[in-house]
Amino acid sequence: MIVRLAIASLLARALTVSMTILAIALSVALFLGVEKVRTGAKMSFADTISGTDLIVGARSGSVQLLLYSVFRIGNATNNVTWESYQEIARRSEVEWIVPISLGDSHRQFRVMGTTKAFFEHYKYRQNRDLEPAEGALMTDLFDAVIGSDVAKALGYSVGDPIVVAHGLASFTEHKDQPFRVSGILKKTGTPVDRTVIVSMEAIEAIHVDWKSGAKAPGQATPVEAIRQMDLTPKSVTAVLVGVKSPLQTFALQRGINEYPQEPLLAILPGVALQELWGIVGIAETALVAVSAMVVVTALVGMMATIFSSLNERRREMAIFRAMGARPSNILGMLVLEAMLTAAVGAVLGLCFLYLGLATAQPILDNAFGLWLPIEPPNWREIGVILAVVVAGAIVSLVPAYRAYRLSLADGMMVKS
């Protein structure tokens, strides 16, 4: 009986109730959407590099090593000698190894020297491979593969020339050895998108005439002569390592950290990523708090709507009382109305969320490399819906209690 009366009362005030439902739906969609973006961003952040067991560099801090080797932020305190790199590569635990050389730039984008093994073993977003959108990987000494953001920002296409600058904020360029864009990688949502990738030998080639960080006066070795030289690197910035068995990871890490020839540091990428997220992820708490306040505002608005309608409904309540309804029935009906309104709004908000995800998913993936999976509602989302319904019941108790206190005489009184 009370349920039927509550539904009839809501239908009688369809316009006002619809606006309240819409406000709750939009706030719930916003809250769940922020949660989806937050978890998606965290997953994308954690999946910046996957399949790599260890990152090795000069001894510093784990976050610093991760920042310059994976995110191309900052600089290494020192390099790893080529002899140490080869020594690590010869260890029985190592399945594959990829050297990285950093230090130069191209129009504010970092230039990274590596080998073709980088394209075979660097994985992102749960073991996805790097793939060229145009062109191919390096085949010539002066070929360069660029990330999607580099190509978009600078308007490059396959075959365009690239002149690398010495250092990160240097006006000195290696104009004598220009590169050619051989390929453009597909969008990944990782720092690879903002990187110019060349071979390790190319890094050595453009520094043939350089001594102690400066170009030697009067020296200009011809490109053909450079091609005939031994361009084996003398050092690398960092090393990506894959281990044959996960059980060997910690033993190899300890062996590298205790390497006697030079001070080295081996880190687990996943652990370092969690440390870094703990630093940069503070904003997510504020974002969730703001979206939660939007939901609270919608619920408070519902309470205000119920309050404002009480004066209009005093005669209705009096008639219910005259027909034998107890004050507790009036209270229960108002609370039930609020719960139904909140429930419909929360479910509609969930529908808005998945409609928005279906629309925005390919756009966010292509534009930002942010992957938001479309999955059935999880327990957290169901919990949010239930919490909104319970909160709707709680905020309705104040106006419902006031209606509970209205007497039959007060409800039937005609005020002048």
Instruction: Determine the Cα–Cα distance for residues 65 and 241; give it in Å rounded to an integer.
Output: 14
Contact 183, 137 (CB under 8 A): yes
In the structure, what pLDDT confidence band is assigned to residue 416 with cuts at 50, 70 and 90?
very low
The answer to whether 185 and 129 have CB atoms below 8 angstroms apart is no
CA distances from 339 to 19, 321, 365 (A): 15, 22, 37
Whole-number percent of the chain with pLDDT over 90: 39
Task: Report the relative pairing of strands 264-267 and 80-81 from DSSP bridges.
Answer: unpaired
Q: Which two tokens stand for residue 29?
A: 């969609």
Q: What is the pLDDT of residue 98?
A: 96
> How do residues 204-226 score in pLDDT, each as one tens digit?
999 888 776 667 776 778 888 88
- Residue-wise pLDDT for 279-334, tens only, equals 766 777 777 787 788 888 877 877 777 776 666 666 666 666 666 667 677 777 77
- Strand 143-146 versus strand 179-185 pairing type: parallel
* Dist. CA 396–CA 299, nearest whole Å: 9
pLDDT at res. 411:
47
H-assigned helices in 106-147: 117-121
Give the pTM: 0.74
DSSP 265-318: EEE-HHHHHHHHHHHHTHHHHHHHHHHHHHHHHHHHHHHHHHHHHHHHHHHHHH
What is the per-residue pLDDT for 158?
95
- pLDDT digit string (tens) for 67-88? 999 998 888 889 999 999 999 9
Q: What percentage of the chain reaches a pLDDT higher than 70?
A: 86
Residue 229 phi, psi dihedral angles, 5° rounding: -80, 165
Q: DSSP letter string over 179-197?
A: EEEEEEEPP-SSGGGGEEE
Query: Is residue 1 scored above 50 in pLDDT?
Result: yes
- Strand 109-114 vs strand 195-199: parallel, antiparallel, or unpaired? parallel
* Cα 179 from Cα 168, distance rounded (Å): 17
- Angle ∠(106,140,109) on CA atoms, nearest 5: 15
User: How would you label 122-158 residue by residue, b for 16+ Cβ within 10 Å and e otherwise?
Assistant: bbbbeebebeeebbebbeebbbbbbbbbbbeebebeb
Rounded mean pLDDT of 345-370?
A: 84
Distances (CA, A) of 97 to 238, 319, 332: 11, 82, 69
Confirm if 34 and 291 have CB atoms less than 8 A apart: yes
Instruction: Count CB neighbours of 188 within 10 A.
Output: 22
Residue 149 reports pLDDT greater than 60: yes
Report the sign of the C-alpha dihedral through residues 105, 110, 113, 115, in that order.
negative
Mean pLDDT of the chain: 84
Residue 335 to residues 6, 7, 246, 312, Cα–Cα distance (Å)? 9, 12, 57, 17
Q: Which amino acid is at 98?
A: V
| Residues 37-49, mean pLDDT to the nearest whole number | 79
| pLDDT, average across residues 333-346 | 85
